[in-house]
Amino acid sequence: MAVVKIHPISQTLHKAIAYITQDAKTNSGILCSSNCAVVPSDADNITAVMRSALADAEVKRGVGRPGSVLAFHVIQSFKPGEVDADKAHEIGWKFAQAITGGEHDLVVATHVDRGHIHNHIIFCSANRVTGKRYRNPNSNLKKIRRISDELVCQYGLSVIEPEGRGTRLSSIYADAYAQHGKEFLRFAIDDAVQNSHSWQAMVDTLSESGVTVSMRGAHILFDCEQVGRGVRGKTLGENYTEHALHSRLGREAMSEFIVAKNLVTRVDDKRWQVRIPGKKPAQYFVVSDQRIIDHGRQMRLYLPASGSLTILNHQGQIAHSLNVEDLYQSFSRPTPIMSQHPHVRVERGTSAAQKRYFSYLDSKIESIKDDAATTSLLAEILRDTQPEDIPLAIESKLSQAHRRLNLFIAQRQKLIDKGQPVEGMDQKISAIQEQQRALLTLRKQLEKRHKERNR
């Protein structure tokens, strides 16, 4: 089974090509193929050739407006466990040739860094033979999906079959592989973060890719046509929460603070002034508008965890400096938003009943693991802590784990920037998240016991 999506690239051509050809995602470039570059993973060369073809097409164009689409990006996803990387890449190359007629410059990259193998295909919108632009009407998606289905059938893979009259093909694809839209979101966000160093730059880049960013309560939401509804960052994974994105954008661990709106005032169009609560006479500090995100009833403030602030008195004069972490004495520390995507599970079973059964078993196993981790953690804390000090010890360990998590997330982004593997860092992030889950579970259990005793 393969699921296909296509979307245009209007501005970020080099960024998109550089992303899909990363060594860390394509087995050091082995799973890259191109008809327009000697080294198929050379993003600079591929981009230059495509731009040359676009320029030639403009020369040949006699009438009409210049084309705004530089290239098209196709994602072809396979069911987990159904195909190996080499076969997927072979299918991807034949698929790319079939939908372009072999007359468009293109690159095919097979990604193997996630729980399922998938192809990324980027092809130039200009036909290098005729100079005409590739047309992508609404009916084209159905056409290229049919081509993909014919190819995977030739390789003995399963093909999505309509279940009955009146069933929309889009619904069948969505039901068969719901994760595909999320994969597109992850790609778009990763691309935006890799080429941005501020929140607004990331939001603007995502907007160019058709992804909107909004806030709802404590959560960040991403929305695009491929998904059809807002998806929470934590649903995409630990690297896509609002806090994690600020750490990735800053390439360093960030501290997050909850700030009441009445404590924040505009200095100018680029800066905010924040009053520190509980200080008399009043004390303030000034931050860039990129550091503060409006969540409706409150604001979220993000500052480098290892940094310091210049504190001003009520007259606007410098009073003293303060370490960022010391602000937690005055502002609330948010409860960590745990990812709903800690592990990529391979779907098992063929019938709906079998899938529900295996899903039930998986949830039970995860529950047993969580219970074991919580018990082990409590034993560890009791070795070094008096019973009455356990709540403080838990909060201290939570703070430490949260700082380490965001440090590793920032370091992971630096590895991505360099095109280096991130598997080792992903393991560290997963381990810290498991520790956080155990700590939060233990805290909840202690709070429950405390309430029961006070009844």
Bridge partners for 253 per DSSP: none
pLDDT at 170: 43
The strand order across the sheet containing 292-294 reads: 254-260, 298-304, 292-294
Exposure letters 362-395 (e unless 16+ CB within 10 A, then b): eeeeeeeeeeebbeebbeebeeeeeeeebeebbe
Q: What angle, rounded to 10 degrees, do the helices at 179-194 and 199-208 form? A: 130
Spatial neighbors of 137 by CB under 8 A, at least 6 apart, are none
Distance CA(100)–CA(91), nearest Å, equals 14
The β-bridge relationship of strands 71-78 and 2-9 is: antiparallel
pLDDT at 342: 44
Residues comprising the chain, all counted: 455
pLDDT at 165: 43
Which has the closest alpha carbon to 72: 107, 21, 31? 107
Tens of pLDDT, residue by residue, the chain (455 residues) = 567 888 888 877 888 898 899 888 899 999 999 999 999 999 999 999 999 999 998 888 766 566 789 999 998 888 777 889 999 999 999 999 999 999 999 999 999 876 678 899 999 999 999 999 999 887 888 899 899 999 999 998 876 554 444 434 444 344 444 455 677 788 788 878 887 889 998 998 888 778 899 998 888 999 887 676 789 998 888 899 999 999 999 999 999 999 999 999 999 989 999 999 999 999 999 999 999 999 988 999 999 999 999 999 989 999 999 999 999 999 987 876 555 444 444 455 556 666 665 565 555 445 545 566 666 766 777 677 777 788 888 888 888 888 899 899 999 988 887 777 787 888 898 888 888 888 888 888 888 877 777 77
- pTM greater than the 0.75 cutoff: no
Other C-beta atoms lying within 10 Å of the C-beta of residue 237: 21
- Which residue is listed with tokens 């095919």? 108
Q: Where are the alpha helices (DSSP H) in 31-178?
A: 43-60, 85-100, 138-154, 169-176
Distance CA(438)–CA(431), nearest Å, equals 11
Spatial neighbors of 104 by CB under 8 A, at least 6 apart, are 123, 124, 125, 126, 127, 128, 134
pLDDT at 333: 79
User: Do residues 86 and 26 make contact, with C-beta atoms less than 8 angstroms apart?
Assistant: no
Distance CA(237)–CA(337), nearest Å, equals 10
User: Do residues 399 and 228 make contact, with C-beta atoms less than 8 angstroms apart?
Assistant: no
Which has the closest alpha carbon to 173: 309, 293, 72, 75? 75
